[in-house]
Amino acid sequence: MRQRDYFHSKAKKTNLSEDWASYRCYGNRATNAIKRAKAVYNKCLLDNSGNDHKAFWRTMKKILPGGRKTTSPSISIGGTLTSDKSLITDSFNKMMMMMKPLFKCHKGILVDDGTYCGH
């Protein structure tokens, strides 16, 4: 990371394409090193949770991005605002079923009867 910072300051001073290329190279290396370290750390957390399912899910909540939402989203269904999850799900499913004829069959796409469409 120090090399990345060094090449960044050098590239800003000289504004040469070679220095910017070096900065990008070391920047990518630093980013990949951080990603690898996070992956190893998260794997260790999961391995340490053992067979305890509560510890596993506690760890998963720490690892996964995003926080818990306290309120459900509200959408308008038939002109009425609702936050009932079952109504929202049913409405979404009905909408997708109405759109089904609009989807065209492309090669390699699974169709309803379990076969693959192969034009």
User: What is the per-residue pLDDT across 12-26, written as a single tens digit (0 to 9) for each?
Assistant: 999 999 999 999 999
Is 68 part of a structural domain of the chain?
no
pTM above 0.85, yes or no: no
**Are residues 56 and 26 part of one domain?**
yes
Residue 101 and residue 7: Cα distance in Å, rounded?
55
The angle that helices 2-14 and 17-48 make with each other, rounded to 10 degrees, is 160
**Are residues 55 and 16 part of one domain?**
yes
Task: Tell me which residues of the chain have a pLDDT lower than 70.
Answer: 67-72, 99-119
**Are residues 52 and 98 part of one domain?**
no
For residue 72, the model assigns a pLDDT of 64
For residue 119, the model assigns a pLDDT of 45
Task: For residue 100, give its domain range.
Answer: 75-117
